């Protein structure tokens, strides 16, 4: 297990196959899928594929989504972390690092996404020394737009992606 970040309530660590049941509960939920493209999933096996995909990203880019666990109990809550996007063309941008998150529905509304995303930004700027971190969300996804606003990203333009209007967010690292 590679621990990345600790916050008052959360541990963020690299994903591993022990997270498959948590991924499956989360990613098979149509409510979780409402504003994101690649879910709901129909099998635990598919979740193992997703986990291996993220592990490949660690090797290729030195970064990828991290599992978020509750410190007190060690239970899996969801994922949060940076993702390197190369040649995506999203919002006309070729190469960037975006922060994203996804949590099991029974853990929504407790501030976990905000706490994890804030820690990801701090780690991305202070430890990884990323020059810029971006994010985007379906404009109807008010919880996500709220999280991105609360963590201090600057809202940019709206743009169309996969047939839906998305809001772009970005923040540059303070010069140190």
Ligand X SMILES: CC(C)(COP(=O)(O)OP(=O)(O)OC[C@H]1O[C@@H](n2cnc3c(N)ncnc32)[C@H](O)[C@@H]1OP(=O)(O)O)[C@@H](O)C(=O)NCCC(=O)NCCS
Contacting residues toward ligand X, per CB under 6 A: 32, 35-36, 101-103, 108-114, 137, 141-144, 146-147
Between β-strands 76-86 and 66-70, what pairing exists: parallel, antiparallel or unpaired?
antiparallel
Minimum Å gap between C-beta 129 and ligand X is 25
DSSP strands (E only) in the chain: 3-6, 10-14, 66-70, 76-86, 95-103, 132-138, 154-161, 164-172
CB of 176 to ligand X, least distance (A): 27
Nearer to ligand X, 129 or 165 (CB): 165
Compute the least distance from the CB of residue 38 to ligand X, in Å.
11
- Two tokens at 110? 């407790």
Name 100's Cβ contacts closer than 8 Å, sequence gap at least 6.
65, 80, 81, 83, 135
Shortest distance in whole angstroms from residue 161 CB to ligand X: 11
Question: Which one, 30 or 74, has the nearer CB to ligand X?
Answer: 30
Decide whether 14 or 115 has the Cβ nearer to ligand X: 115
């Amino acid at each position: 297990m590679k621990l990345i970040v600790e916050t008052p309530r959360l541990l963020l660590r690299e994903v591993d196959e022990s997270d498959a049941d948590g991924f499956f509960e989360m990613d098979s939920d149509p409510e979780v899928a409402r504003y994101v493209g690649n879910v709901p999933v129909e099998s635990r096996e598919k979740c193992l594929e997703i986990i291996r995909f993220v592990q490949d990203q660690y090797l290729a880019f030195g970064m990828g989504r991290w599992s978020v666990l509750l410190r007190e109990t060690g239970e899996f809550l969801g994922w949060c972390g940076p993702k390197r996007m190369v040649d995506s063309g999203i919002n006309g941008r070729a190469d960037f690092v975006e922060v994203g998150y996804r949590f099991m529905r029974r853990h929504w509304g407790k501030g976990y996404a905000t706490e994890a995303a804030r820690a990801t930004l701090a780690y991305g700027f202070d430890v990884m020394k990323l020059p810029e971190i971006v994010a985007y969300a379906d404009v109807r996804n008010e919880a996500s737009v709220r999280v991105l606003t609360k963590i201090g990203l600057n809202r940019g333009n709206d743009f169309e992606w996969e047939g839906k209007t998305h809001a772009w967010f970005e923040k540059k690292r303070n010069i140190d």
